[in-house]
């Protein structure tokens, strides 16, 4: 159930009976010479497609920018830094909290976002809500050892081949 495809009345109805939302962060940055700049956004978006088929949880639009300051020497990298990412995600979370959300799942597509998202989870905890971060790559190698690997390596390449092999 996608927030951006709902009317405000549909959203109001959702929060009468539900209090969970998925917020997704990605990044636009280098992933080797073989993967696209949007790898960290496209993989979580594919996961969201699968979640949406099996769940009625509310899915907020994905933020395709993150903290990629350490990749800015690569053409095409767009980094908003950790502080701005934290502010944006906190503001989005606060608004969803006002709507009735109390359980927040942060589907994270980029390791550089983890610090800011941890701060947002602490902010939500102080308000009486629960926030948790799911870094998809932490379980990829456990599911299939062939997918293990670091940035731009086996796990991201395998995932991108699943998302759209023409992009790899």
Residue 2 predicted with pLDDT over 80:
yes
What is residue 58's predicted lDDT score, i.e. its pLDDT? 98
Average pLDDT, stretch 67-92? 96
Q: Which residue has the higher pLDDT, 99 or 31?
A: 99
Structurally, how many domains does the chain consist of?
1
Residue 154 predicted with pLDDT over 90:
no
Tell me how far CA of residue 74 lies from CA of 37, 68, 110, in angstroms: 10, 10, 16
What is residue 96's predicted lDDT score, i.e. its pLDDT? 98
Q: What is the pLDDT of residues 111-136, one digit of tens each?
A: 999 999 999 999 999 999 999 999 98
**Gap between the Cα atoms of 2 and 52, Å rounded:** 8
What are φ and ψ of residue 101, in 5° steps? -70, 135
Q: What's the number of CA atoms in the CB half-sphere (13 Å) around residue 113?
A: 32
Average pLDDT, stretch 102-112? 96
| CA 80 from centre of chain | 15
Prediction pTM value: 0.92
What is residue 127's predicted lDDT score, i.e. its pLDDT? 97
What is residue 93's predicted lDDT score, i.e. its pLDDT? 98
**Gap between the Cα atoms of 168 and 154, Å rounded:** 12
**Gap between the Cα atoms of 34 and 89, Å rounded:** 30
Residue 152 predicted with pLDDT over 70:
no
**Gap between the Cα atoms of 87 and 31, Å rounded:** 26
**Gap between the Cα atoms of 143 and 18, Å rounded:** 30
| CA 144 from centre of chain | 22
What is residue 159's predicted lDDT score, i.e. its pLDDT? 86
Pair 107, 22: CB distance under 8 Å: yes
What is residue 55's predicted lDDT score, i.e. its pLDDT? 95
Closest CA to 108 of 164, 26, 167, 12: 26
Pair 117, 92: CB distance under 8 Å: no
Q: Which residue has the higher pLDDT, 25 or 146?
A: 25
Kindly state the greatest CA–CA separation across the chain. 47
**Gap between the Cα atoms of 139 and 147, Å rounded:** 10
Domain interval for residue 12: 3-167
Residue 80 predicted with pLDDT over 90:
yes
Q: What is the pLDDT of residues 11-70, one digit of tens each?
A: 999 999 999 999 999 999 998 899 999 999 999 999 999 999 999 999 999 999 999 998
Residue 148 predicted with pLDDT over 90:
no
CATH label of the domain that carries residue 143: 3.40.50.10310
């Amino acid at each position: 159930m996608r927030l951006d495809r709902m009317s405000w009345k549909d959203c109001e109805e959702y929060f009468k009976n539900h209090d969970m939302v998925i917020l997704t962060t990605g990044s636009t940055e280098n992933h080797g010479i073989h993967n696209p700049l949007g790898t960290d956004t496209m993989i979580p978006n594919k996961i969201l497609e699968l979640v949406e088929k099996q769940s009625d949880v509310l899915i907020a639009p994905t933020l395709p920018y993150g903290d990629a300051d350490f990749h800015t020497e690569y053409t095409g990298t767009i980094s908003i830094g950790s502080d701005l990412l934290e502010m944006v995600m906190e503001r989005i979370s606060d608004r969803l909290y006002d709507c009735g959300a109390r359980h927040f799942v942060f589907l994270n597509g980029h390791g550089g976002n983890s610090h800011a998202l941890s701060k947002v989870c602490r902010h939500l905890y102080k308000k009486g809500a629960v926030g948790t971060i799911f870094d998809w790559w932490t379980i990829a190698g456990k599911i299939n050892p062939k997918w293990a690997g670091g940035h731009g390596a086996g796990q991201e390449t395998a995932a991108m081949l699943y998302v759209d092999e023409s992009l790899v």
